[in-house]
Structure 1
């Protein structure tokens, strides 16, 4: 079984494409550990003082944001379901027909920035999506990428044919190793605040069995990392759908797909 799993990340003919997308990933990330420790101590002092009398509204984006639900840039025809603090939408340029995003309605950059009520509702959406895809005899991989130009928290949820979680997890670990990235395994219950300080880039992938993988990239890290792993021959075998720009559909096609997903997901 171990030998079979190792095949997931053996370099394939798409390796050149993956390298090219890695080169597009933008500037390196390096951080002063003393500054991070100082910021962490400041956060801890604020927490020790207790919650404020009135919770502050979410921070405002520095520029146009395609994912703030109240913003004029968001493509509302992709929305599938709306909660109190979060919403579900089809991914634009998704890898597969029911590739969806779970996002906060307000503007938060990452799970490490989101307040408890947002995290709680994100968890409810994730649980409902797992049940939905399991009812279709599918697994799903959920990943968050907080780096490069990811200014709004996005949970990417991608269904795959029923593949054991340990095999999917090993695919991420092995591919990361081939790219010089070390992914740690940790339980699903680990809170975001224990994963990284606010402002530190990270990648987190979650699987149905709760054994997640996590890394803090300090160097070049492909913006398409999660899609590259899932595009491998023994997962989705879709090397031509690594880049979302290669998967765009017309607005009519997107609207029809969102309505179909909404009808199916409603129960």
Structure 2
């Protein structure tokens, strides 16, 4: 039987690196965002009150239909494969996942919010001849307006951040593992061992110096080449931010999981307050 686990959390926070490492294990399936999340959303809508025939679906049938989406998409995998399906929205559906897959776990990749904004901004400035769909193909804007769009309730950062905060304080918060980007990049073997243990999977020795992953076509279609690029070696890059100091300061307090009074689970490595690089502007 296929085991289902999930990768969620914030963008530009290590989910692609985590997937690239996990997929080295032949008993594991992982990748960038899959279509299952959007399929679940579509079926949930079709089973809602806007569809009068939904009256004929009981709870067991609804659950079976949703589980069937996962089993159909991953049906060709060998028996016993552990699937890590990636979607930023899974933390917003944690109650649903717990009902569908009672043994599932969710790995939430996190990174200080200003560094996420910095990372996206670097991509935008690097790809000067591209128009990124991240911002609705808007050719104008500045670092300030782009940050505002990303931090909006439905934005690239704002939505998954709010979904994660909701999950962290819900009934199923014990299913979450907060995984800081720096911890994964600096201590990949130890971090992966913690992920395997948390998910109840047998350990596996990964090659952290020969990482292969290619999502070039996907990134090109988004008008953002390099969005899912992964270095061949897992390591932490120390650099200075390109964000103006006032922009950095505005969103520094958004990294709420670094506050022990806020988060319920201790991040891998026990260092939820660790920063990436320096904040010098």
TM-score band w.r.t. shorter chain: under 0.3
TM-score (norm 2): 0.24
Q: TM-score, normalised by structure 1?
A: 0.25
Question: Between Structure 1 and Structure 2, which shows a larger proportion of helix residues?
Answer: 2
